[in-house]
A and B are shown apart, each in its own frame.
Chain A
Amino acid sequence: MATAPEPAFIRRFTVSERAIHWIHASVFFSLLVTGAILYFPTLSVAIGRRQVVKDVHLWSALAWVVAVLVVVIVGDRRALRRVLREADRFDADDGRWLTGKRAPQGRFNAGQKVNLILTGVLSLLFVVSGLLLWLGERDTRFRLDGSIALHDGATLVSLFLLVGHLYLSLIHPSTRHALRGINRGDVREDWAEKHHRKWVEAERDDRPV
């Protein structure tokens, strides 16, 4: 590893990982706002222009699919695969962490792995239900009365996750340093030692002496 020695900071996320995160965040926001307008009568009536709002909603979803594909194709697939691998693995420390006890964590703590998995599941369910709703408007073959329930249910779960996610990343004092990592790529090593010890130790093991 030939990085310039910066003892204070440790690189946590590559450009590709950060790109995926911010694409997801910005599109989610757009979908949430337009979705809320389509869903809540007060907003539907106040904003009107249902067809325009629907179009923005659909094009946002399409943009998400395309943007993610672009990052996967031209980006650092190795880094992205590493994310999947890490999210896949839960050890005894993760188990303890999820029951509320403190235990040393890796680059992603157990809660973050759960968030990753759920976000992946919800993205899939949104695409499926959204596609069915869109196609079903024109073609009876795609009309299922469970589509809107799934779309609504996924929204509710997503909002739940989002509130927690935003709280921890923007407000909660001990964790909000993580925002730097997803923004600029690196985090303070001393902070990382406290919150993601196994990762820091593994990184040190990898560094040439």
Chain B
Amino acid sequence: MTELPERKLPEPKRREPKRREGVPVGRAAFLGLAAAGISSLAWGKTAFDAVASAIPSGLPSIAPSNGWRIYSISSPLPTFDPATYSLEVFGLLDKPFKLSYADLQDLPQERQVSDFHCVTGWSVEDVHWEGVRIQELLKAVNLAPNARALRFNSAELPYDSALTLEQALLPDVMLALKMDGKPLTRPHGSPVRLVIPQMYGYKGVKWLKSIEVSREAFAGYWEREGYDNDAWVGRSNGYGDSS
């Protein structure tokens, strides 16, 4: 396709076509890089986590990093007022009760180091949690015979989630008051959040306001949006063999 007008004058000087044309490297580079990029859908998370582990923590959380992301469903985030806060435990038990923040702190505390996995694909390794085991919380009460589950309600309405009793009593489940040596900060769910490392993070209700002992593990906020109730890391929500 020529763009040049008809010439009546002698041929203007032109460089040799070969030197002027060059080699069509560009399209090859485009296709190769695009293919490499798309292939990273298969290996990207592994590579990402490996690099993030190698980078010392404490650097600003620019990718790749083991950085947290804060997802919320309503604004603003709940504010913790130690003077008025209480965690209410009610439902299918003989003696419903309320705990103040000081009450929670007075319960025997346990520590653990766990990884945190978000269902969207990012993770934070080696989070130091300190808090109260569910067993400890329910020690002084009797659950009704038909009690099968615990429903966790957040001050961030309408966020909630539920676990079966069996899941809630797993050895690494806790109500965390401290993260990485410090009391929970506001973005991370102050004053207390549910921690269940074997499941994706959306099960770990933040800004915990009340716990209801119930007949079954009703679908919570994200479960109503289509996510799995039993949110086992690597084998739920479409990951692993799950559908």
Other-chain residue from A40, A41, A117, A128 in contact with B29 (beta carbon distance below 8 A): A117
Query: Are the CB atoms of B239 and A153 closer together than 8 Å?
Result: no
Q: For residue A128, which residue of chain B has the nearest CB?
A: B38
Cα A129 to Cα B77 in complex, Å, equals 29
Chain A residues, CB < 8 A from B120: 133, 136-137, 147-148
The answer to whether residues A121 and B33 also contact, given A143-B237, A206-B4 and a CB cut-off of 8 A, is yes
Answer yes or no: A111 CB below 8 A from chain B CBs.
no
Answer yes or no: A68 CB below 8 A from chain B CBs.
no
Cα A89 to Cα B30 in complex, Å, equals 12
Query: Are the CB atoms of B30 and A121 closer together than 8 Å?
Result: yes
Chain A residues, CB < 8 A from B67: 41
Q: For residue B33, which residue of chain A has the nearest CB?
A: A121
> Could you name 29 residue pairs across A and B whose Cβ atoms are closer than 8 Å?
A1-B5, A40-B61, A41-B61, A44-B70, A48-B75, A88-B26, A89-B21, A89-B26, A90-B25, A90-B26, A91-B19, A91-B22, A121-B30, A125-B37, A125-B38, A128-B38, A128-B41, A137-B120, A146-B41, A147-B121, A149-B47, A149-B121, A150-B37, A150-B44, A152-B48, A152-B64, A156-B62, A156-B63, A202-B20
Cα A206 to Cα B9 in complex, Å, equals 12
Answer yes or no: B97 CB below 8 A from chain A CBs.
no
Q: Number of B residues whose C-beta is below 8 Å from A? A: 57
Answer yes or no: A72 CB below 8 A from chain B CBs.
no
Size class of A's contact patch? Answer: 35 or more
Answer yes or no: B73 CB below 8 A from chain A CBs.
yes
The answer to whether residues A209 and B9 also contact, given A48-B72, A94-B22, A145-B121 and a CB cut-off of 8 A, is yes
List the 4 closest pairs (A to B, CB-CB), nearest first.
A140-B238, A48-B75, A149-B44, A89-B22
Q: Mark B1-37, 1 if CB is under 8 A from A, else 0.
A: 0001100010011110001111111110110011001
The answer to whether residues A89 and B121 also contact, given A121-B34, A205-B12 and a CB cut-off of 8 A, is no
Query: Are the CB atoms of A143 and B239 closer together than 8 Å?
Result: yes
Query: Are the CB atoms of A49 and B75 closer together than 8 Å?
Result: yes
Query: Are the CB atoms of A41 and B186 closer together than 8 Å?
Result: no
Answer yes or no: B40 CB below 8 A from chain A CBs.
yes
Of A116, A118, A146, which is in contact with the most chain B CB atoms at under 10 Å from its CB? A146
Q: For residue B242, which residue of chain A has the nearest CB?
A: A140
Other-chain residue from A41, A44, A128, A148 in contact with B121 (beta carbon distance below 8 A): A148
The answer to whether residues A50 and B23 also contact, given A132-B41, A152-B48 and a CB cut-off of 8 A, is no
Answer yes or no: B85 CB below 8 A from chain A CBs.
no
Other-chain residue from A117, A142, A146 in contact with B44 (beta carbon distance below 8 A): A146
Chain A residues, CB < 8 A from B122: 148
Other-chain residue from A39, A45, A138, A150 in contact with B186 (beta carbon distance below 8 A): A45
